[in-house]
Amino acid sequence: MPSDKIAPFPKTRLRRIRQSSATRALTREHTLSVSDLIWPVFICEGDNIEQPVASMPGVVRRSVDKVDEAAKEAAGLGIPAICLFPYTNPQLKTPDCAEAWNPENLSNRATRAIKSAGLDIAVMTDVALDPYNSNGHDGLVVDGEVVNDLTVDALVKQALSQAEAGADIIGPSDMMDGRIGAIRLALEEHGFPNVLLLSYAAKYASGFYGPFRDAVGASGALKGDKATYQMDPANGQEALRLVARDLSEGADMVMVKPGMPYLDICHRVKEQFGVPTFAYQVSGEYAMLQAAIQNGWLDGDKVIMESLLAFKRAGCDGILTYFALDVARKLAKN
Ligand code: PBG
């Protein structure tokens, strides 16, 4: 707003609106609600298991029965979506990643368990090969190169197996070219016209994914980095090209990832395209906040909400966050 539109002091005292909690509430521009949250959960084999993830204090890997239980609580609190990430048994990881489209893989079993419980919560699944790849990459590696087009064929098979298991929202997080179009076409052809695609359109080659790779057991496997397919953190314009491309191929919603270091990108995407835009507050962001909170250096009640509200202010419609359940409990109390 140009400053000549504001009456000069003392006619304008910007502190007037801040004088009480009532006037602050009345003039508040953004709010965080439970319906803004997507909760990422890690799944593992076994029964009755909740296994802490060392680098993500407060986060556990859950066996399918426990995921089911957690989904019930999340649905009860009004969280609209849960996002599944499998910790795959290392013996099932192969260079061809065939476990990714096994109808009985962990992710598909968990999806069926949640869907058959008839809960009012959307199940989101992850399309990328890294949990199934013996070399830890999101794509197939041929002669040392992460190859694009063969990977897209594999991702289509993976996405179809997830749709067959009952996934409501499919989230391609692999950053291959052409995968949104190929998956969209396959979904149409196989009788899944209503499955949503939430494209990880602007996903950066980030250091903030470290704890996630521990959580899904991909850290040890990964050779090299993901810079040939994930974005260079120095780029902004390119994110807009990727979003435009994925929308043109049939994405319903787009995501920026990581979150807090890329709020400028969230804002630009929302401003330019006006489509449902999400941010992923990734594992490293969670770990940073939790580490400081656990040391008593930051007040968790304040910084968690503040960090999530920032996404709303930047223009996001929702946030994938490991804090989702805690935040939903807190919002339910208020
Ligand atoms: C991989 C994938 C990653 C995350 C979600 N899907 C990691 C990566 O790209 O290496 C990261 C999420 C997080 O850090 O919380 N397809």
161, burial (CB in 10 Å: exposed 0-12, middle 13-18, buried 19+): buried
Contacts of 111 (CB under 8 A, 6+ apart): 84, 123, 125, 162, 165, 166, 167
Residues with CB under 6 A from ligand 1: 126, 128, 130, 138, 173-174, 209, 212-213, 226, 282-283
List of E strands, the chain: 37-44, 50-52, 60-63, 81-86, 122-127, 141-142, 145-146, 169-172, 196-203, 253-257, 277-281, 318-321
CA of 286 to the centre of ligand 1 (A): 13
Pocket test for ligand 1, best of 138, 230, 288, 307 (most atoms within 8 A of CB): 138
Our answer to whether residue 226 is catalytic in this structure is no
User: What pLDDT digit, counting tens, does each position of 285-317 carry?
Assistant: 999 999 999 999 999 999 999 999 999 999 999
Residue closest by Cα to atom 11 of ligand 1? 209
How far apart, in Å, do the first and last CA atoms of the chain sit?
A: 33
User: Of residues 66, 93, 226, 257, which has the active-site annotation?
Assistant: 257
Say how far apart CA 287 and CA 306 lie, in whole Å: 16
* Atom of ligand 1 at shortest range from CA of 209: 14
User: What pLDDT digit, counting tens, does each position of 8-67 carry?
Assistant: 999 999 999 999 999 999 999 999 999 999 999 999 999 999 999 999 999 999 999 999
When pLDDT is cut at 50, 70 and 90, the band that residue 228 belongs to is very high
Q: For 110-134, what is the mean pLDDT?
A: 96
Quote the percentage of the chain above a pLDDT of 70.
99
* Atom of ligand 1 at shortest range from CA of 230: 9
For 167, the 3-state DSSP assignment is: coil
Residue closest by Cα to atom 9 of ligand 1? 209
For 320, the 3-state DSSP assignment is: strand
Token pair for residue 164? Answer: 């067959």
- For residue 126, which of 297, 320, 326, 263 has the smallest C-alpha distance? 320
Q: Which helix (H) or strand (E) holds 79?
A: none
Distance of CA 115 to the CA centre of its chain: 20
Taken in order of first residue, the domains within the chain and their CATH numbers are 32-333 (3.20.20.70)
Our answer to whether residue 5 is catalytic in this structure is no
CA of 149 to the centre of ligand 1 (A): 21
